[in-house]
Structure 1
């Protein structure tokens, strides 16, 4: 790869590896394929883990193709090219299995030299990720590294007898004790991550929980099922957030926003995106307010000022909602933060305005309205008081 392309690839690949625990390899040396096979193959029934197959798909430059390979264990590899360099993502899984499923595969391929313990140990070492999410990831990686790359077509290549391998029992799911135990473990890790304010760990465990629900079918769902799933997740997160010490009024505000988005969503992807956004917002709030050591009352007021600055906030109405008097709210807020609620709100609004001034071409009236101030002249006056210069001069200085 060119130096500039390689730098972009390294950054993007590193992010994907860190977040999804996926291997991403560029085969640019002769001995890499053999090392890759030795590292990732557990049994010779995995047909694509051979030098012949991997050489076939990595040595013939096909710029418009993404190969999606599936072996007898329902393990996958994705292969595509960036500037004639073959990139391999995986191995990974999109399915979970029980001992009954393993016996079906072992019988189908007459496997006698591999124990089920080793088989499940191998599968559990691989990341679980939805096929649709994987392809979005690949598309983003390619677009980031090579924006001018031609549109790529996905070609599925199966190294198994699909009809014989997938029995009808997969559709009914009578034996799922192992899956429930695994899901319980993921759920506990998910709750613990929320309580710590660790959004990355929480979302990772959420993905694993969602994979469990899909059993051995290709991941897919209906809009109504996802709404139900989002409600269950929302309840779990709410309880974990309250247990972490986040004020109830903040919990209700974030939760209500997700409820509204989920109810109006027109696609499964919208619901999944909103669910992850909710988790990040909860974790950010937990992480932030744990560090600040403020009282519940002040934490609640700070959340309103930091996240709803664009609304017409009346301090008296906020005090009523928090079930305290206006004077008490002002007194406690000043004691803990060193400033009044109105002053903090103004600073929060002007901070957001400064970001818009330096990053957009919005007019003064548009920026003023977007930070909760209807009068542009008053906005200019407040901004100049806090920053020592007019919004126009600020924009000119930071965009020159």
Structure 2
């Protein structure tokens, strides 16, 4: 199997949230390569000069490492001939290997005589900056991928260019409306956040995970010095947003609250960034699955109320009679409307849900069959076995034996 090394490079950089900008010629528009910071501190032709610099500087089999006036790092290289269908030159960055401290930022402002009204713009820029704590490993992997792009033929020379290689000066804009980086970044973050909530409300796991990957390129300002406390705070906020998204998706608040409370307890065990990232993705999957399994949004209010009542009272021996009494509607009318929308009778739906919940207990616990029957609202274990077999084709005992047999394999 042949590996597409260009896609490997793209995936590698995406994993670190590092920008990859392709340049074909000096005339290319590269205004997005630096998150738009130069639109504030320089003329528009600064981007044209940088594109020209990349095209004039890059030579085959050379990887250039340089810093700009903002003291952020970039890499650039000339693509091999066989890869030039995507572009001629590759510009990677910006990124840093450690978080910017306030004292350092103040020195940058003083050195370049930047008006203090633009401090917010700079802070937002550095907040969005990818941080590479394992910088050396990142660079080694990057070099290895680029060498493979060149098919390991010959040596790849690494060139460290002079500090502030791109000749540019920081000047405040004449029109403050042009210095809208902070607002633009916040607006983009909110848009992605809305995309994430929409995906969860639809139970779309892939779209939700894609949105959260895009969100990770925005670093929200820390509230505490202790990193683990910041991770937990972010997860607490995310848990609140995700549960509201699930509610928008038509899931009953009672069911959402059960999941939310369980996740809230686990949040307090998160300590590292890796644990934070993993748990955030797990929360997204949990809420999406909740919407997939329990969203009644597409049904009429009456049927929705009936389904919610069944879900919340399944262990109480719910029936068409007490359901119609609870909803204050005629039992015959409820039965007709329910079957029209659901394609099955109320009793069939109740039994289906009982069996689905019973299967969950059989798969995940060692509870006795009679105890499981009681948990799903059936006191007669023989009747429970009859209902279970009618829906699954086997008795609960046979089903458990099948599960245990599969586990031992």
Task: State the TM-score bracket (shorter-chain normalisation).
Answer: 0.3 to 0.5
Compute the TM-score of the two structures, normalised by the length of structure 1. 0.46
